[in-house]
Amino acid sequence: MKRWEICPKINEEIKNKFPEINPIVLQLLYNRGLKTQKEIDEFLLPDYSQDIADPFIFLEMQKAVDRIYQAINNKEKILIYGDYDADGVSSTFVLYEILKKLGARIETYLPDRELEGYGLNKEAIKNFVEKKINLIITCDCGIANAEEVDLANRGGIETIITDHHLEPKILPKALAIINPHLKREKYPFEDLAGVGVAFKLIQALLQSEKCVLEDKEASEKWLLDLVALGTIADAMPLLKENRTLCKYGLLVLNKTRNQGLKALIEKSGLKGVLDTQNIYYQLGPRLNVAGRIDHANESLKLLLAEGDEAHSLASKINALNEKRQKMVEDLFTEIKREVGEEPKKHFLIVFKEKSPVGILGLLSQKLVENYARPAVVMTKTEKGDLKASGRSIECFDLYAALSSFSDYFTNFGGHRGAAGFTLKRFEDFEEFKEEMEQLAEKEIKDKDLRQKIEIEAEVKLPDINWDLQEELLRFEPFGHGNQKPLFLLSSINLRNIEIVGQNGRHRRLVIEDGRKMIYFNSDKEVAGLKIGDKIDVVFELGVNQWNGQQSLEMKVIDAKRSM
């Protein structure tokens, strides 16, 4: 049974302070920590010219810009070193586009997820030394690569790091580091994606007096589609600067000039106005898939492609995505059989020898979604490495927990909600598993093992109208940190239950005022409900479009008989 939690109600003082704002809208603003007129205006009315901070606030930005222009003027070889996920590929692409426009001698490098792993690696650095690369610019990686940067320094290569991951104990001795998480930085927003940090470097390059481009503003803004895509795909909070970047990025995405991206949108079957959900569920996974089960270079090639090549690569990536979906589905079916319906352990650790490294995170995420507890899935690579990826629930800091067992690992990294590691020896697996389960037993309460549904406000039937829907549009773009709000209707009469859908798994609940609520995949969930019951319903408000007609749609998230 799911656990419902409703946000604390706003008090009369807040209502009196903003009498002109619909109380439901005011509640949603309050839930997001917006309590002053300035905060509310900045949230509801993002302004690119006002909200995007000066890139030169970063302490070493000027040094990075000067070195890049020096390299361009001296015809030195510059290499962009990215990451294999959608954020890393987007970062690599936007930097490549601008540096190419500026006349740089430029090439790119994305590591192989399974053979090389995340971040800079020593074999690649040795190769760059042989190729006489002069300057490496990292994006979405590099902050944890002190040894690799030392190796590059000894080989005569300077490094500029752009990254958004947490500051390690030892910082690399790079020429310049651009990262909002560094303790020394005063940049006003920490939660930029990797592509967001790369974009700050681009802004600085374009603002520099050394920039000779005539179309600076256009060059910057036509990259916002990829900035939004990378930010949303990496599940960064859509607040403050990210919110503004993504709001404008979605406008650019809907008229993108990128032929590869256009082809991918077409192959994904997307039509009409694209939003964050389309990125999160369709475009993001497709840009990610090559790095998961093939090579991320395919995604980068797509973004750089034109004409027939763009369509060919989009078809290839779409096929890879279908393969990935089938792979995850088959492996997860096996895992569910092993774990059972109601596992007793508070922490799930599963070993799947045949699983590609690139889908371990997807499998652990599905375990969390199905069983409402932290989970780790591990596999053995072709090289014999024991790699694992984990995801967590809100109350359990996975990174801190793994830090307690770091002696078991050759390396590990991550943050509170997601982490990965490599186990030193398979002989340690059972012992590590047992100790991790014991720690979770102590820290996770039984109530936390029920899926939480966070309800933003209780509403009455007359509240649900087009005026409210229009107000909700002002909260877009929705995403991590600004979820689409869920509402609660209490003690309403259930007049009828209709079976819908070809497989009969969906239900339409007819409620007391004759309106209908759609409840997807609910054949089991409605078993305890009967016509005439008083029910409580958690739902999401939206718009249904059918045959050119629009109607308000209430999509049920959960329902139960009223107490």
Which pLDDT band, with edges at 50, 70 and 90, does 547 fall under?
A: confident
Which pLDDT band, with edges at 50, 70 and 90, does 526 fall under?
A: confident
The fraction of the chain above a pLDDT of 90, given in percent, is: 88
| Mean predicted confidence (pLDDT) in 267-286 | 95
What is the per-residue pLDDT for 8?
96
Contacts of 555 (CB under 8 A, 6+ apart): 517, 518, 519, 520, 539, 540, 541, 542
Which sign does the torsion angle of CA 127, 94, 161, 356 carry? negative
Parallel, antiparallel, or unpaired: how do β-strands 135-139 and 452-455 relate? unpaired
For 289-298, 508-517, 522-531, 536-545, which range has the lowest pLDDT when averaged over its residues? Answer: 522-531
What is the per-residue pLDDT for 415?
82
| 341-399 pLDDT per residue, tens | 889 999 999 999 889 999 999 999 999 999 999 999 999 988 888 999 999 999 999 99
Instruction: Map out the domains of the chain with their CATH numbers.
Output: 55-215 (3.90.1640.30), 340-449 (3.10.310.30), 453-561 (2.40.50.460)
For 182-196, 379-393, 473-487, which range has the lowest pLDDT when averaged over its residues? Answer: 379-393
What is the per-residue pLDDT for 347?
96
Which pLDDT band, with edges at 50, 70 and 90, does 226 fall under?
A: very high
Structure token pair of residue 474: 């002002």
Parallel, antiparallel, or unpaired: how do β-strands 549-561 and 534-546 relate? antiparallel
pLDDT of 1 above 80: no
What is the per-residue pLDDT for 501?
85
CA distance 24 to 10: 10
Angstrom distances, CA of residue 35 to CA of 11, 28, 29: 12, 11, 7
| Mean predicted confidence (pLDDT) in 289-304 | 97
What is the per-residue pLDDT for 155?
98
What is the per-residue pLDDT for 210?
96
Which pLDDT band, with edges at 50, 70 and 90, does 131 fall under?
A: very high
CA distance 249 to 264: 17
| 334-350 pLDDT per residue, tens | 999 999 988 999 999 99
Of the candidates 105, 109, 107, the one whose C-alpha atom is nearest the C-alpha of residue 82 is: 109
